[in-house]
Chain A
Amino acid sequence: MAMDAGEIERLIRDGIPDAVVRIDDLRGDGDHYAAYVESPAFAGKTRVQQHQMVYAALRGQMGNELHALALTTVVPKA
Chain B
Amino acid sequence: MDQTVHERIRRDITDNDVVLYMKGTPVFPQCGFSAAVVQVLSHIGVKFKGIDVLVDPALRQGIKEFTNWPTIPQLYVKGEFVGGCDIVRDMFESGELVPFFKEKGVEVPENV
Contact = CB atoms under 8 A, between A and B. Distances in A.
B83 A71 contact: no
A63 B83 contact: no
A72 B70 CA distance: 16
Contacts of B71: 62-63
Contact of A51 (B33, B87, B91): B87
A70 B69 contact: no
Contact of A72 (B69, B83, B84, B86): B86
B70 A55 contact: yes
A60 B69 CA distance: 10
Interface residues of A, number: 13
A78 interface: no
Contact of B86 (A52, A60, A63, A70): A70
Contacts, number: 30
Interface residues of B, number: 15
Interface in A5-59: 47-48, 51-52, 55
A68 interface: yes
Interface residues of chain A: helix, strand, loop or mixed (majority): mixed
B83 A48 contact: yes
Which of B33, B68, B70, B81 is packed against the most chain A CB atoms within 10 Å? B70
A68 B69 contact: no
B86 A71 contact: yes
Given A62-B70, A63-B64, A63-B70, A51 B90 contact: no
Contacts of A63: 64, 70-71
Interface of B: 33, 64, 68-71, 81-87, 90-91
14 contacts: A47-B83, A48-B69, A48-B81, A48-B82, A48-B83, A51-B86, A63-B64, A63-B70, A63-B71, A70-B85, A70-B86, A71-B86, A72-B86, A72-B90
